[in-house]
Amino acid sequence: MTEEYKKYTVRHAPKSPVVKDTLRAFLCGGALCAAAEGLKNLYLFAMMSRDDASLITSVTLVFLAVLTTGLGVFDSAARFAGAGLLVPITGFANAVAAPAIDSKTEGYVLGVGAKIFTVAGPVILYGTVSGALYGAIYYLWRIFS
Amino acid sequence: MSIIKTGAYIVSSYSVVGTLEGKGPLGGKFDYADGTDDTFGKKSWEASESEMQRVAAVGAMHKAGVAPSDVGAVFSGDLINQCIASTHGLMGLGIPDVGLFGACSTCAESILLASIYSSFVKDISMAVTSSHNCSAERQFRFPVEYAALRTPTSQWTVTGAAAFMVSSEKTECAVRVADGMFGRIIDSKTDDLNNMGAAMAPAAADTLLRYFDESGTSPADYDRIVTGDLGREGSSLLCEFMTAAGYDLYQRHGDCGLDIYDIEASDVHSGGSGCGCSAAVISAKYLDMIRKGTVRNMLFVGTGALMNAMSVGQGNTIPAIAHLVRFTS
Amino acid sequence: MDYLYAFLVGGALCAVAQILLDRTKLTAARILVGYVVAGVALGGVGLYEYLVDFAGAGATVPLTGFGNVIAEGVRRAIDERGAVGILTGALTSASGGVGAALVFGFIASLIFKDRKQK
């Protein structure tokens, strides 16, 4: 067996329907963001500050994503919407809730406690590290400019 | 000589499947189909899989009219770490146990070993294998509710199990395990977790070619040549391999992973997989065909992809193995 | 018009990720990480703010928006507290979203049970 076979299997395999998938992701992701915009305006109307309205909008989406994950419908919806549900904050919330629910049979400390970070951990880690890296650059730039 | 002649018979078999499998094309043929959304009344998916093993083993013994104390050894396996599903499923029976791991090839591996044992010791033995969609997802991929996206070549782990009672003595509707051959570990240099068919097809081809070569036979000598779980993608690659080697497989080839689901109607992409897939389909479909006489001589090639999350994470390729068993009437 | 821009920008960010999923070996987890880091970078150089002003939720709801919040938070923390902000900024600013996901996720683990995939 050589590398040739690996290349052949890639050519041989049916391709994901990229146009259909992308269109669905665009429409679903766009609709979700437009709905979130509406939600934000609602919160602004309720006299929240701009930052708070934005945050509470995210929290609302997180809540809905966790709820639908628990009810077992998020994965079905994501199979249709693809990245349209995974890239918005709903995908992050699903990545937190799914392993939490899944690992409760292994206990609440090393089961839920540890595995809740299976997919979310990398996002938090690299968000923090890249934030710190940016902060170091920004700090130096402030000193020297 | 790699072909092992055995003189043993499968005197009974019992298949257990999940809800989706029970609604598939073979639905009515399985001995037991779950109606509890695959929980089998248990609190964890691993416990559900153990329960399937227990039900299958007890069912096969019941059909053959055999008590646990009559069984000399049970050859068991599954896909969960350290074969824990078979351990918990079978520990209450008190039968001497041989734990096996051959990934999805374990069904063929366990039937062959049980047959070798029974013909050597002149005793009754049993082969039990299982897989469960949810415990396998947890083991190999992601949490069950995590919205992981699947590619067209990915396969769906079958929730299923089957037990085969093997005896050195023939009974009325026994299926003969004529001979068999253990597979070699074949590294196809592929590394796509979502294309197991491509990883396993070269192993199936290797075992079949070695078998045809040594036995001096060709596909035309068999009514059916059935692979375990190559799925649509792997089956097509295997047939291409065999054609290139001068053997026409298209007329006789069947694949348990394609038999168990209505591929177009359900969201299983390339087909079913898992050691419960071949176990349940061989038990419910092919052994039944041999008992009824519609198939008299068939090859069963159980295929397995040898990997775990760690080996793939460390950048290794996915080697595969295929064990062959010949059933005759 | 706000809604249209939110729709277009949010949809486009999702569409790009879908193309990456279908056409490359990148897994969803890697794409999420990539989006957050990209958001930090774009927010850091000050470009993402324009997108937020233009598209509102279309820019803040995708995970790049999460990265932008981190960059903004780090900048604010350094302006207020000096070098300590390099370390405190990221997690402080991300705490709303992450806290919500962890708390709701934990509560979900108390209430819900795994269901078989359909």
- What lies within 8 Å, CB to CB, of C48 at 6+ separation is C39, C42, C59, C64, C65, C67, C68, C71
pLDDT of residue A3: 83
Contact B198, A12 (CB under 8 A): yes
Same fold, B4-167 and B178-328: yes
Query: What is d(CA B183, CA B320) in angstroms, rounded to the nearest whole number?
Result: 9
- Between the two ends of chain C, the Cα-to-Cα distance in Å is 38
Which tens digits make up the pLDDT trace of A26-54? 999 999 999 999 999 999 999 889 889 99
Report the DSSP beta bridge partners of residue C102.
none
Chain C nearest-CA distance from A100, in A, is 5
| Res. A145 pLDDT band, cuts 50 70 90 | confident
| Res. A139 pLDDT band, cuts 50 70 90 | very high
Query: What is d(CA A36, CA A25) in angstroms, rounded to the nearest whole number?
Result: 16
B246 φψ region: left (φ > 0), alpha (ψ -120 to 50), beta (else)? left
Cβ of A110: how many Cβ atoms within 10 Å?
A: 10
Of residues B35 and A113, more confidence is placed in A113
| Res. A1 pLDDT band, cuts 50 70 90 | low
Cα angle B321, B322, B323 (rounded to 5 degrees) comes to 125
Per domain, the residue ranges of chain B are: 4-167, 178-328
**In chain A, positions 64-83, which contact chain C (CB-CB < 8 Å)?**
66-67, 69-72, 75-76, 82-83
Query: What is d(CA A141, CA A139) in angstroms, rounded to the nearest whole number?
Result: 5
pLDDT of residue C117: 67
Distances in whole angstroms, Cα of residue B179 to Cα of each of B206, B209, B300, B327: 17, 16, 11, 8
- By the CB < 8 Å criterion, does A40 face chain C? yes
- Which of B32, B31, B60 lies closest to B124 in space, CA to CA? B60
- In the three-class reduction of DSSP (H, G, I as helix; E, B as strand; rest coil), residue B323 is classed as strand
- In the three-class reduction of DSSP (H, G, I as helix; E, B as strand; rest coil), residue A104 is classed as helix
Whether A116 sits inside 8 A of C35 (CB atoms) is no
Whether C114 sits inside 8 A of B145 (CB atoms) is yes
Cβ of B94: how many Cβ atoms within 10 Å?
A: 10
Buried b (16+ CB within 10 A) or exposed e, B148-180: bbbbebbbbbbbbbbbbbbbbeeeeebbbbbbb
pLDDT, one tens digit for every residue, chain B (329 residues): 799 999 899 999 999 999 999 999 999 999 999 988 899 999 999 999 999 999 999 999 999 999 999 999 999 999 999 999 999 999 999 999 999 999 999 999 999 999 999 999 999 999 999 999 999 988 887 777 777 778 899 999 999 999 999 999 999 889 999 999 999 999 999 988 889 999 999 999 999 999 999 999 999 999 999 999 999 999 999 999 999 999 999 989 999 999 999 988 888 889 999 999 999 999 999 999 999 999 999 999 999 999 988 898 899 999 999 999 999 99
Q: What are the residue ranges of helices labelled H in chain B? A: 19-22, 45-64, 84-90, 106-121, 133-140, 196-215, 231-244, 256-259, 275-281, 287-292, 309-313
Per domain, the residue ranges of chain C are: 2-111
Among A2, A71, A102, the residue to mutate for chain B (most B Cβ within 10 A):
A102
Cβ of B142: how many Cβ atoms within 10 Å?
A: 20
Query: Could you say which of B39, B144, B192 has the minimum Cβ distance to residue C117?
Result: B144
Residues of A in contact with C71 (CB under 8 A): 131, 134
Helix A50-70 / helix C85-111 crossing angle, nearest 10 deg = 40
| Res. C118 pLDDT band, cuts 50 70 90 | low
- In the three-class reduction of DSSP (H, G, I as helix; E, B as strand; rest coil), residue B171 is classed as coil
The token pair at A1 is 């067996």
Residues of A in contact with C25 (CB under 8 A): none
- In the three-class reduction of DSSP (H, G, I as helix; E, B as strand; rest coil), residue B105 is classed as coil
- By the CB < 8 Å criterion, does A14 face chain C? no
- What lies within 8 Å, CB to CB, of B297 at 6+ separation is B221, B222, B223, B326, B327, B328, B329
Confidence check: pLDDT of C48 > 80 = yes
Whether the pTM exceeds 0.80: the reply is yes
Query: What is d(CA B134, CA B157) in angstroms, rounded to the nearest whole number?
Result: 8
Query: Could you say which of B18, B133, B149 has the minimum Cβ distance to residue C28?
Result: B149
pLDDT of residue B24: 94
User: What is the count of residue pairs from A and C with beta carbons less than 8 Å apart?
Assistant: 275
Phi, psi values for residue B293, rounded to 5°? 90, 0
- Which of B94, B117, C85 lies closest to A132 in space, CA to CA? C85
The token pair at A73 is 């419908």
Which tens digits make up the pLDDT trace of C50-107? 999 999 999 999 999 999 999 999 999 999 999 999 999 999 999 999 999 999 999 9
Amino acid at A72: G
- Number of continuous H segments (helices) and E segments (strands) in chain C: 6, 0
ipTM value: 0.93
- Which of B124, B145, B175, B158 lies closest to B296 in space, CA to CA? B175
Query: What is d(CA C12, CA C88) in angstroms, rounded to the nearest whole number?
Result: 32
**Location of structure tokens 């056409």:** C23
| Res. C114 pLDDT band, cuts 50 70 90 | confident
Handedness of CA B130, B131, B132, B136 (dihedral sign): positive
Per domain, the residue ranges of chain A are: 15-102
Which tens digits make up the pLDDT trace of A50-79? 889 999 999 999 999 999 999 999 999 999
Query: What is d(CA B61, CA B68) in angstroms, rounded to the nearest whole number?
Result: 7
The token pair at B259 is 């038999």
Long-range contacts of A124-130 (CB under 8 A, 24+ apart): A124/C94, A124/C98, A126/C33, A126/C36, A126/C37, A127/C36, A127/C37, A127/C40, A127/C66, A127/C67, A127/C70, A127/C90, A127/C94, A128/C70, A128/C90, A128/C91, A128/C94, A130/C36, A130/C37, A130/C40, A130/C41, A130/C67, A130/C70
Query: What is d(CA A56, CA A96) in angstroms, rounded to the nearest whole number?
Result: 18
- What CATH topology corresponds to B4-167? Peroxisomal Thiolase; Chain A, domain 1 (3.40.47)
Give the right CATH number for B178-328 from 3.40.47.40, 3.40.50.300, 1.10.10.10, 3.30.930.10.
3.40.47.40
Residues of B in contact with A79 (CB under 8 A): 147, 149-150, 267
Which tens digits make up the pLDDT trace of C9-38? 999 999 999 999 998 888 888 999 999 999
Residues of A in contact with B85 (CB under 8 A): none
